[in-house]
Amino acid sequence: MKLQLNGQEREFPDGLTLAAFLDQLGMKPDRVAVELNREIVARDRWFQVALKQGDCLEIVHFVGGGVSHALTAKTAENACRPRDVLLRQLGDMHIEARLGQQRS
């Protein structure tokens, strides 16, 4: 099946769950965030979410407690949300989580 991965169309086997897809890419689940068709997917749902032809995925790596570059620096002119929006959302989530820890 063809999927949009960080703005690039790539071919993958049919029938992958999001968890199997990330495993195939060699990604460590505790260090990535995934947006599927403009919605961030909670990690506890990755084994239930089946990918299908044409899905649009944005994957962002966390490094050293912050947000790093994604698999590619190219942002697609397609149906995917621009990477800067995803990074900003994830950055805000990270800041909120750190502020919550400091208040405890």
Give the domain CATH number at 15.
3.10.20.30
Domain count, the chain: 1
| C-alpha dihedral sign at 33, 65, 28, 12 | positive
Give the tens place of pLDDT for each residue, 30-68.
888 999 999 999 999 999 999 999 999 999 877 664 444
What is the Cα–Cα distance from 85 to 81, expressed in whole angstroms?
7
Query: How is the chain split among helix, strand and coil, in percent rounded to 5?
Result: 35, 30, 40
Give the tens place of pLDDT for each residue, 87-103.
555 555 544 444 444 44
| Enclosing domain of residue 30 | 2-103
What is the Cα–Cα distance from 85 to 91, expressed in whole angstroms?
10
* 29: pLDDT strictly greater than 90: no
| pTM score of the predicted model | 0.62
